[in-house]
């Protein structure tokens, strides 16, 4: 089957049109991916012993400070309750035996 000159031109025209159509459709459907950049946390297994100790000691210090503040509040409340129990309903101090 031999194509004539017009048949070849038609084949090239259809192929070219299909390529243009595919290219245009691809451009119209393109999805733009935009990602936010954030810094990753430093990997702990790459830190030296002193760097790991510093982080751990800072956490321990914060915990101890919270505990100290809680104990101070508890002691203050205990002292106020004890002072109130030493006073009678009229505000007089009870005698200790």
Domain map (residue ranges) of the chain: 50-87
Q: What is the mean pLDDT of the chain?
A: 80
Instruction: Note the pLDDT tens digit of each residue in 10-38.
Output: 888 999 999 999 888 877 777 666 667 77
pLDDT at 79: 93
Measure Cα distances from 13 to 18, 19, 69 in Å.
8, 10, 84
Query: Which residues partner with 93 through β-bridges?
Result: 87
Asked if residue 89 has pLDDT above 60, the reply is yes
Instruction: Note the pLDDT tens digit of each residue in 38-55.
Output: 777 766 667 777 777 888
CA 93/CA 23 separation, integer angstroms: 96
Q: Where are the alpha helices (DSSP H) in 1-97?
A: 5-28, 49-86
CA 19/CA 25 separation, integer angstroms: 10
């Amino acid at each position: 089957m031999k194509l004539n000159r017009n048949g070849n031109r038609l084949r090239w025209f259809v192929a070219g049109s299909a390529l243009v159509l595919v290219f245009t459709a691809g451009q119209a459907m393109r999805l733009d991916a935009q990602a936010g950049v954030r810094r990753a946390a430093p990997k702990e297994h790459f830190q030296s012993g002193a760097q790991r100790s510093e982080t751990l000691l800072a956490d321990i210090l914060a915990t101890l400070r919270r505990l100290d503040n809680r104990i101070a509040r508890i002691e203050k409340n205990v002292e106020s309750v004890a002072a109130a129990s030493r006073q009678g309903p009229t505000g007089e101090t009870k005698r200790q035996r």
